[in-house]
Amino acid sequence: QLHLQESGPGLVKPSETLSLTCTVAGGFIDSSGFHWGWIRQTPGKGLVWIGSVDYSGTTAYNPSLESRVTISVDTSKNHFSLRLTSVTAADTAVYYCARRLILDGTMVAFDYWGQGTLVTVSS
């Protein structure tokens, strides 16, 4: 059974960088059959896709966040990471990592999700 676990600081100061890691257990991140993504959730904006990465490090980002986001993968540690720079209170959210299925060569939906981690941006 695949298990994803987010980790990182729960409190980040405004203008600083938010860094989270998603550790994958029960499966290997260096599989060509999946992508790995970050999604955040707030009461006001709902679920927002941040971006995704594959095992080779190829990324795709939401244009609304692209200038501040970096997603990377470390296959040796079986984890992938999120960096979001210059955070403001608007970046306060529950952050989820998730696996994205690839079926017949097409990227599909997110079939496994981490439990989520609340990150608060405040001084």
Partner 1 sequence: DIVLTQSPDSLAVSLGERATINCKSSQSVLYSFYNKNCLAWYQQKPGQSPKLLIYWATVRESGVPDRFSGSESATDFTLTISSLQAEDVAVYYCQQYYSSPLTFGGGTKVEI
User: Quick check: 48 binds partner 1 (CB under 8 A)?
Assistant: yes
- 42/56 Cα distance (integer angstroms): 30
Name the pairing type of β-strands 11-12 and 106-113: unpaired
- 114/117 Cα distance (integer angstroms): 9
User: Quick check: 104 binds partner 1 (CB under 8 A)?
Assistant: yes
User: Quick check: 67 binds partner 1 (CB under 8 A)?
Assistant: no
Within 15-44, which residues bind partner 1 (CB under 8 A)?
none
Name the pairing type of β-strands 117-121 and 11-12: parallel
User: Quick check: 55 binds partner 1 (CB under 8 A)?
Assistant: no
- 23/27 Cα distance (integer angstroms): 10
* Residue 49 C-beta: closest distance to partner 1, Å: 4
Catalog residues that contact partner 1 under the rule CB under 8 A. 46-49, 60, 62-64, 96, 98, 101, 104, 106-111, 113-116
